[in-house]
Amino acid sequence: MSTQIIQWYPGHIAKAERQLNLSLAKVDLVIEVRDARIPRSTSHPCLQKWIKNKKHLLVLNRRDMIHSTSLSAWDNWFRQQGQKALWCNAKDGTGTKQIKEAAIQLGQELNDRRKSRGMQQRAVRALTLGFPNVGKSALINRLVNRKVVQSSRRAGVTRSLRWVRVGQQLDLLDAPGVLPSRLENQEAALRLALCDDIGQASYDVESVAIRFLRIIEQCEQPRFSIKPCHVLEQRYGIKLKEAKQNAHLWLKSAADHHTSGNTNRMAQRLLDDFRKNLIGPISLELP
């Protein structure tokens, strides 16, 4: 991307990072949550520094928002890097049982060590860490099978730390999402904006929608699945050909049809539909 369209680092994120640094001392395990659509862009550069010698679980959430072929490709890639990815859908609960079991298993290992040193056993303390809106709070609610923490569509919902007990063996700490203070790569910033991981105050909705249309044009999906550009065409009745020539033209035509010519509202609708998974599974990053 040639021009910088996305600016951020709101004050509440700086506060979130300070809170995070204080709470890290109190936990044994970091459950890192990333967005399956953008596993690279939701990997925080400070992660290794934060984890140090703590236990670590890597969770890829929103598995329902990508195609199974992309999931397998990423899963293999992580394996090659010596990492095991736990895939889940924190909205309907798929894969969350395995996360709970893995956390408890790591807690057991910690307790075995404590026991061998003559110390009392206790529940493992885990912190959910990740970018805003990746689904950390939704995951916690799934792990306890109750709505105990607030979870909703916009980034920056969780503003303070909150401990949640999951049975006798696991204590979870819900924390606000964190972002790197600087992001040199504007392509990654665009993907974070598309996935609603950064607040809308940081960018111009129309510019982001135009760039999304250009991604859609080139989007290669696995064989037998409908191409996202065809989904767009079916959904909004605007031919792909127009978008191919000019994403601005597509937005204008779609706005004429659906939002009384208001391109800003149309841009918002397009992004909302993507975020609600109405344009089909789209991997914005592949290994």
Ligand X SMILES: Nc1nc2c(ncn2[C@@H]2O[C@H](COP(=O)(O)OP(=O)(O)OP(=O)(O)O)[C@@H](O)[C@H]2O)c(=O)[nH]1
Chain positions contacting ligand X, by CB under 6 A: 61-62, 64-65, 89-91, 130, 132-138, 151-153, 155-158, 176-177, 277
- 123 or 157: CB nearest Mg ion: 157
What, of Mg ion, ligand X, none, does residue 192 touch, CB below 5 to 8 Å by kind?
none
Task: Supply 184's token pair.
Answer: 């040199």
Residues in contact with Mg ion by CB under 5 A are 136-137, 157-158
The least distance separating ligand X from the CB of residue 92, rounded to whole angstroms, comes to: 7
- 177 or 228: CB nearest ligand X: 177
User: What residue is closest to ligand X based on CB?
Assistant: 177
Query: How many angstroms from the chain centroid is the CA of residue 196?
Result: 9
Contact 123, 169 (CB under 8 A): yes
- 158 or 202: CB nearest Mg ion: 158
The least distance separating ligand X from the CB of residue 253, rounded to whole angstroms, comes to: 29
What, of ligand X, Mg ion, none, does residue 135 touch, CB below 5 to 8 Å by kind?
ligand X
User: What residue is closest to Mg ion based on CB?
Assistant: 158
CA 128 – CA 60 distance, rounded (Å) = 12
The least distance separating ligand X from the CB of residue 135, rounded to whole angstroms, comes to: 3
What would the DSSP string read from start to end of 171-225?
EEEE------S----HHHHHHHHHTT-S-GGGS-HHHHHHHHHHHHHH----TTS
Contact 274, 212 (CB under 8 A): yes
- The number of helices, as runs of H, and strands, as runs of E, in the chain is 11, 6
What, of ligand X, Mg ion, none, does residue 134 touch, CB below 5 to 8 Å by kind?
ligand X
Look at residue 241 and give its three-state secondary structure: helix
- 201 or 260: CB nearest ligand X: 201
Degrees (nearest 5) of the Cα angle 120, 125, 127? 165
- 65 or 140: CB nearest Mg ion: 140
The least distance separating Mg ion from the CB of residue 147, rounded to whole angstroms, comes to: 12
